[in-house]
Amino acid sequence: MLPTPRKFTIVSGSSEGDTKLTAFDKALLDAGIGNLNLLKVSSILPPNAEYVERLEIPPGSLTPTAYGSFVSDVQGEVIAAAVGVGFSEKDYGVIMEFGGVCTRQEAEARVKQMIEEAFAVRGLKLAKVMTKGVEHRVEKIGCVFAAVALWY
């Protein structure tokens, strides 16, 4: 079992690439998380996790990350990704993520709605929500990426 993360950082980025994978890689770099090894996790924020604005971990670190992304090769299409973190008053939190064909505002509204539903299902009182999103108009092959990185 891995240790429980004590910190979290919310990031987002977008980019263009010559392939879908390089567009994704460049979006990770734009978000400031491109030199880490992301371990995709489901969406629970540990109790008492501290928000830190900037990641301060070495390149190559295994980093538990909840993320949403979307890649498109439809020229002119507007794509967006967003993440949201819902905080309970004294318990754990919930992270939701989304990526698709929409605006940043629509993506952020979607994750907020999913957080509200997740709290209702768990019987938790929602005290606060943080969201972060990104929007991109595709030129050739575009990618959007939004994430909550959990670290130690």
pLDDT at 130: 97
Residues 26-38 pLDDT 10s: 999 999 999 999 9
Distance CA 48, CA 46 (A): 6
**Confidence label for 51 from pLDDT (cuts 50, 70 and 90):** very high
| Percent over 70 (pLDDT), the chain | 100
Does the pLDDT at position 82 exceed 80? yes
pLDDT at 90: 83
Half-sphere exposure of 129 (CA within 13 A, CB side): 22
AA identity, residue 56:
E
Other CB atoms within 10 A of residue 110 CB: 22
Residues 110-152 pLDDT 10s: 999 999 999 999 999 999 999 999 999 999 999 999 999 999 8
AA identity, residue 18:
D
Residues 55-65 pLDDT 10s: 999 999 999 99
Distance CA 74, CA 78 (A): 9
Domains of the chain: 7-151 (3.50.20.10)
Q: pTM for this structure?
A: 0.95
Active site residues: 37, 42-43, 97
pLDDT at 144: 98
